[in-house]
C-alpha cells in the first residue's frame, strides 16, 4: 500500500525523489527543472572549475576538489535519471 498526498497526488517516495532532484538543481546553481541543455552546460563548467587536476597544490586542496566533483557528478546523475524517467512516462 502506498499513501498518496491529497494535494499533490504523490507518494512519500515520489515526493522525496522530487525534492532531491530540486535540491540537485539548486546545488548546481540552477532553477529547479531548468532545461536539460542548461544543466549540461552548468555541469561541465562546474566540473572544469573544481576538477582535482586544477587543485593539486596540496593534498587537502585535492581532497576538497574530489569531494566537490563527486557532489557535482551525483547531482548531475540524479537530474539526468529524473529527466529520463520523466521522458519515459510521457511516451
Is residue 10, in this structure, part of any structural domain at all?
no
The reported pLDDT for the residue numbered 5 is: 55
Section 50-72 average pLDDT: 89
Is residue 82, in this structure, part of any structural domain at all?
yes
Is residue 2, in this structure, part of any structural domain at all?
no
DSSP bridge partners of 4: 11
Is residue 4, in this structure, part of any structural domain at all?
no
Is residue 28, in this structure, part of any structural domain at all?
yes
Find out whether 32 and 21 touch, Cβ atoms under 8 Å. Answer: yes
Section 30-50 average pLDDT: 96
Q: Is the whole model's pTM more than 0.85, yes or no?
A: no
Q: Nearest to residue 79, comparing CAs of 21, 13, 15, 19? A: 21
Is residue 1's pLDDT more than 50? no
Element (H, E) at 89: helix 59-89
Cell 497526488 sits at which residue? 9
Section 48-71 average pLDDT: 89
- Look over the chain and give the mean of its residue pLDDT values, rounded to a whole number: 88
Is residue 79, in this structure, part of any structural domain at all?
yes
CATH number at residue 44: 1.10.287
Is residue 32, in this structure, part of any structural domain at all?
yes
Count how many domains the chain has.
1
Is residue 67's pLDDT more than 50? yes
Is residue 71, in this structure, part of any structural domain at all?
yes
Parent domain of 49? 17-89
* pLDDT confidence tier of residue 68, bands split at 50, 70 and 90: very high
Is residue 52's pLDDT more than 70? yes
Distances from the Cα of 67 to the Cαs of 37, 55, 61, in angstroms? 24, 12, 10
Amino acid at each position: 500500500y502506498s499513501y498518496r498526498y491529497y494535494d499533490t497526488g504523490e507518494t512519500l517516495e515520489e515526493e522525496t525523489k522530487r525534492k532531491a532532484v530540486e535540491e540537485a538543481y539548486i546545488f548546481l546553481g540552477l532553477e529547479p527543472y531548468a532545461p536539460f541543455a542548461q544543466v549540461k552546460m552548468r555541469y561541465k563548467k562546474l566540473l572544469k572549475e573544481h576538477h582535482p587536476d586544477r587543485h593539486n597544490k596540496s593534498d587537502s586542496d585535492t581532497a576538497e576538489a574530489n569531494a566537490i566533483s563527486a557532489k557535482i557528478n551525483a547531482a548531475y546523475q540524479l537530474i539526468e535519471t529524473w529527466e529520463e524517467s520523466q521522458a519515459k512516462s510521457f511516451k
